[in-house]
Amino acid sequence: MVSLANVYSIHPPPYLKQPSLFSFTSLHLCSTMSPPKAATLFLLFFLLLLSSTTTSNAHNITRLLAKYPQFSTFNHYLTTTHLASQINRRQTITVLALDNTAMSSLLAKHYSLYTLKNILSLHVLVDYFGSKKLHRISKGSTLTSTMFQATGAAPGTSGYVNITNLKGGKVGFGAEDNEGKLDATFVKSIKEIPYNISIVQISHALNSAEAEAPTAAPSQLNLTEIMSKQGCKAFADLLTASGADDKFNENMDAGLTVFCPTDSAVKGFMPKYKNLTASKKVSLLLYHGIPVFMSLQMLKTNNGVMNTLATDGANSYDFSVSNEDEVVSLETTVVTAKVLGILKEEEPLIVFKINKVLMPKELFKPVVAKEANEPEADAPADSEPADAEDNTNGVQGLGGGRLVMLVLSLWIGILLI
């Protein structure tokens, strides 16, 4: 009989090409066991391996840096320039963090927010550099691309950073368009999640003529005009008539996600809308906005409760996001609306079209629960809270399927004892 070790040494399946997870020792053990036990042990290793590969690579730069007060200014400007959300969407990234002293020197030059965004984006490398990799650079020096280069605003290779190993174990950093000067040195590693995100402190801000060039503000986005031109005129008119559009516009610079019901959905809802008081009408309209930028992919990976522009201390005014395959749904306990598409996506604003008006439980009667003796359909559960430091605009944690696999693996392991 051919042993498992012999079979997999000839034709190893892809999921076994990780010696640290499925060692040759384990394969040899399988070959010396009776067939039933060998098969069971193989299944155990396979389930453990599968569960280990289902972990999301999600991270949240804001939460990671929040643990270090000395980087509070840097963290703040990553958020206000919307670089934080762009960093969170990247699967492999290195952030060259500046402490408050280094940021004070940078801010003293009074750059506009848009120029500052270019400068800070030069400090975000689109490759992974942990402390060990930085100190073991092949040939002692390397050029790596940054998020500034990725914007298309950096001509030639001006959006690249030179990383060089110096004498005494030091590592230097300098913008490629800075005449070969290394402006900063490596101070320490702050946080490393291998091959996902590395945050390292450098001593000074990097100088770059291209990044520091005056940058004009992007064209002003007109929310109601965007909606009116793409099948959501009725909802846009309600925002303007109620004055709720002011609240939406106030939040746009910091990040805004809008869910706009179609004209037909608003038309069918108007009898209920007219029965609301003026203040409740405003709350209903604000309920259709989230005060952060949430792309479609973020919605798919952030299933759970979302606060809205209407949320305050006394009223939650929240709803739950869920998705099945490619369909994203918004559930209020009163109504479930589906996302039909995107009207506009230009960070910091994104506008989704939905098929129903969202009705909060604070203003409308929730759907009556079924009688106890009636069968109930499976309802999607709120997402489990993720690890605080890695929770993101993407969710990370122990999913239901992974939990089942781990429990099953434990049970099989006990049987083998």
Give domain limits for the chain.
61-202, 223-354
The pLDDT score that the predictor gives to residue 218 is 67
**HSE value, Cβ hemisphere, 13 Å, CA-based, for 396:** 18
Comparing 61-202 with 223-354, is the CATH topology the same? Answer: yes
Residue type present at position 369: A
Per cent of the chain over pLDDT 70 is: 73
Whether residue 165 has pLDDT greater than 60: yes
235-279 pLDDT, tens digit each: 999 999 999 999 998 888 778 999 999 999 999 999 999 999 999
| 365-384 core/surface letters (b: 16 or more CB in 10 A; e: else) | eeeeeeeeeeeeeeeeeebe
Residues 153-163 have pLDDT tens digits of 788 889 999 99
Work out the average pLDDT over 188-211.
96
Q: Which residue matches tokens 């762009």?
A: 86
With CA atoms as reference, report the closest residue to 228 among 266, 257, 281: 266
11 pLDDT above the threshold of 50 = no
Can you list the positions of beta strands (E) in 307-364? Answer: 319-324, 327-331, 336-346, 349-354
> Would residue 243 be called left, alpha or beta, if left means φ above 0 and alpha means ψ between -120 and 50 degrees?
left
More confident residue, 220 or 59: 59
pLDDT tens string 97-127: 999 999 999 999 999 888 999 999 999 999 9
Q: What is the DSSP string of 199-241?
A: EEEESSPPP-HHHHS--PPPPPP-HHHHHHTTT-HHHHHHHHH
User: Looking at 24-38, 104-118, 276-290, 324-338, which range is the least confident one?
Assistant: 24-38
What CATH code is assigned to 223-354? 2.30.180.10
311: pLDDT strictly greater than 50: yes
Quick check: bond before 348 cis, omega within 30? Answer: yes
pLDDT of residue 400: 44
CATH code that applies to domain 61-202:
2.30.180.10
